[in-house]
Amino acid sequence: MDLWFTESDMKTYGLVFKIKKTLYVGKSKYQTVAVFETVDMGRLLVLDGLVMSCEYDEFAYHEMIAHVPLYTHPSPENVLIIGGGDGGTVREVVKHDIVKSVDLVEIDEEVIKVTKEYLPILGSAFDSPKLNIHIGDGIEYVKDTDKRYDVIIVDGSDPVGPAVGLFSESFYRDCYERLKEDGIMVAQTETPYDVNLRVHVPQIYKNIRKVFPDTRMYIANVACYPSGMWSFAFATKKYDPIKDFQGVRYEKDGFKLKYYNDQIHKACFILPNFVRDFIDG
């Protein structure tokens, strides 16, 4: 029997994965959570029919959303992660000795539970002593908290369903307010290349740019996302990702990473013309 997974929002173009086994399907308060065993790309975490992470290439997304801001800020001691319930971003952030505390605000407790049980590669850092997990709405959290952060990482799902508010101007404004005066926000900002999904991207950048004085896009290649090109917004009050790259710390840490390196840190900000025109046009 051949079982193929296709994303629920696939209109005219997209990826399909051959599946060996359905490991888990459950309905949480917010969404349908599923884990599939693919034939040769490891396990796939799927929320409401959309691929969140695939064991084969999750390192690309998670290394790039974490290390680009953390190797730009000279002392990222306090980090806030909004979303990120699959644990991949936490895993990369807690690697940094300089990071003293990480707050993770995930709306859906089920995602954490399912990841812990079925995706240990992703969930390996949930027991870090630096980590505080808050189950709740990230939008409410940044509105209400008194804490101030060096780095905020917005690792939400797509701008449909529970995560739609994570792409609004008011949310980005609250993030701005919760950052220290030299803080950096990085947010996943969908794909600028997929013919159907790219429609969201220009408005996301307009929203962030109304709030932050300097916002740039950087990109990473993620095989399990349609078109293979994924983008992130680097929104900063002060530090420049190129000029302020923390090369000495990067060398000293010497992490064994699969995607990110010191040259990628700079090259990822170089955009093909059509992408630049798409967000700036």
Q: Where on the chain is the footprint of a copy of itself (CB under 8 A)? A: 6, 10-18, 38-41, 56-57, 59-60, 193-196, 219, 221-223, 226-229, 257-261, 263-264, 266-267, 270, 272-274
Half-sphere exposure of 49 (CA within 13 A, CB side): 8
Identify which of residues 104 and 229 has a Cβ nearer to a copy of itself in the complex: 229
Residues 233 and 205: beta-carbon distance below 8 Å: yes
Q: How far apart are alpha carbons 182 and 201 in whole angstroms?
A: 26
At 249, phi and psi to the nearest 5? Answer: -65, -40
Which residues, including other chains, have CB under 8 Å from residue 95's CB and lie 6 or more apart? Answer: 253, 255
Report the b/e string of 221-238 with b at 16+ CB within 10 A: ebebbbbbbbbbbbbbee
Q: In angstroms, give the least distance from the CB of 51 to a copy of itself.
A: 11
Q: In angstroms, give the least distance from the CB of 57 to a copy of itself.
A: 8
**Which amino acid, residue 165?**
G
Identify which of residues 25 and 242 has a Cβ nearer to a copy of itself in the complex: 242
Catalytic-labelled residue, pool 48, 150, 155, 174 = 155
Q: In angstroms, give the least distance from the CB of 72 to a copy of itself.
A: 17
Q: In angstroms, give the least distance from the CB of 228 to a copy of itself.
A: 1
Identify which of residues 135 and 195 has a Cβ nearer to a copy of itself in the complex: 195
- Indicate if 194 belongs to the active site: no
Identify which of residues 30 and 230 has a Cβ nearer to a copy of itself in the complex: 230
Strand, coil or helix: 42:
coil
Residues 66 and 84: beta-carbon distance below 8 Å: no
Q: Which two tokens stand for residue 4?
A: 């193929």
**Enzyme catalytic residues:** 155
